[in-house]
Structure formats: structure tokens, C-alpha cells
Amino acid sequence: MGATLLPADAPVLAIDGAVKRFGSRTALAGLDLRLGDGEVFALLGPNGAGKTTTINLILGFLRAEAGSVRVCGIDAGADPVGARRHVAYIPEQVALYPGLSGVENLRYFATLAGLDLSKDEARALLAEAGLAPEAHGRKAGAYSKGMRQKVGIAVALARRARLLLLDEPTSGLDPSAAADFSATIRAAAGRGTAVLMATHDLYRVREMAGRVGVLSGGRIVEEIDPKTLDHVALERLYIDRLAEGAA
């Protein structure tokens, strides 16, 4: 079978009117979202707002009951494997093999994607992802959360993923590690990778995201440019929109 041909003008991510229910509960009620190359979009919302459901729809682990979810023009519900070829997912806790080094973990995960990385290539990718050279040969069992995330980003770089999904990426990071991670994400976006992150971290959103969507009632109720607001104003707007959605 030949490679799937993608429309030249297809956005990296296109969610149109996505609806997903779990029994009597509606998790998504007509979600619309578009994301292009090099964009960083932060999806803000409390627990239960639909952030995880959105990620699972993009990954093809769930299928929308109405609407569509497309990654690089590929329907994630109809062809989840094809859509996932363009996606790298970094969960809140990145799982690495603790007895393997950063280089060994990266080379192993690359083989699962059909890639054969040399040690030098792996080291170059880890450095590009922001992992300090002295950590490349260290066992991953001694890695902090931020270091494990950087290995995950290196995997995304190796796979040349068009879309990077992040779930609560800065939770549990100290301020220095969170700032370092923000810089890593901005660098990935600068290389053209689209980034969608589900988060509660209003402060880091202003550093990383070009657009912010407030998710409430299963849909985005407000989309803003976080650079136009200071942290206090962004927090106030977020709280107000959630209150309106709960009313």
C-alpha cells in the first residue's frame, strides 16, 4: 500500500463540531479547533471539562459520535493508525525504562517507529530537546519529570511528528524546570511542530501559547491571545468563563 497523500492546505489539526458522550454525560458538545504548523494552543479547563477526551479523540482511542477530528487531513476516527503517524503524545508522567539510559530509551522507542538511530544521532536529538549532555548516558531511573519529558520530545523529533500533544506538562515541575520546558516547547514550535497542550498552568500558558481556549460545557467558550493579558487578568477571565459555563 502506498503512502497516504495529504492535502497540501490541510491544517495539522482540524476538529469540527466534535460530540462525545459517556452514557448520560456529554464530555464534548460541538468542539471546534484548528491548529497549524508551528502554533502552540493551550486548552484550559477544570477536571472533567473534556481535555482528556479531546486528546483521546485525536489519538483515535475514542471516536466522536458527531463531527470530525482530522490530523493532517486524516480522519482520526476512521484511520487512527494513519492519524497517529503524525502525532507524538507526551502524558503527564512520561514512562521510560529505568534501567536504560536516555540514549538507549530513545533508540528503543525509535525502533518501535521503524527508525534506526545511531548513538550519535540519538545524542544530537536529546541535545536538541534540551537534555544536558551529561545526562544522556545516565540511567533514566534517576531522571526528573522534566528530563523524562525531554526524552519524549526527542522521540517526537526523531519521528518528525507534525503534532505534539501535551497533558499537564508543567505539573510537578519546579519554576526553573518549568521555564526550561517552556523554552523547549517554543523551540519545537519554531521548527514547525504544532503543539496542543491541556493544562491548568495559567502562568506558563502566557510563556508558551500563542492561543488559549477555555473549555467549558464541552466546547471552547473563549479563545484569547494570552500575550494581551497579564497573569491576573487571564486568571480572572478564566474563572469568569468557567462560572458562566456552570450557570
Same domain, 25 and 135: no
pLDDT of residue 67: 94
pLDDT of residue 193: 93
Single pTM value for the model: 0.86
pLDDT of residue 5: 46
Same domain, 141 and 124: yes
Q: Whole domain around residue 171: which residue ranges?
A: 21-86+162-247
Extract the runs of DSSP E, i.e. beta strands, from 102-193: 163-167
Same domain, 111 and 64: no
Number of helices (H), then strands (E), in the chain: 8, 10
Give the span between the Cα atoms of 46 and 174, in whole angstroms. 21
Q: From residue 43, how far is each of 2, 117, 176, 201, 208 by CA, in Å?
A: 35, 33, 23, 10, 12
pLDDT along the chain (247 residues), means of 10: 49 96 92 95 86 94 95 95 93 92 96 92 94 95 92 91 91 83 88 91 83 88 84 79 65
Same domain, 101 and 223: no
pLDDT of residue 3: 40
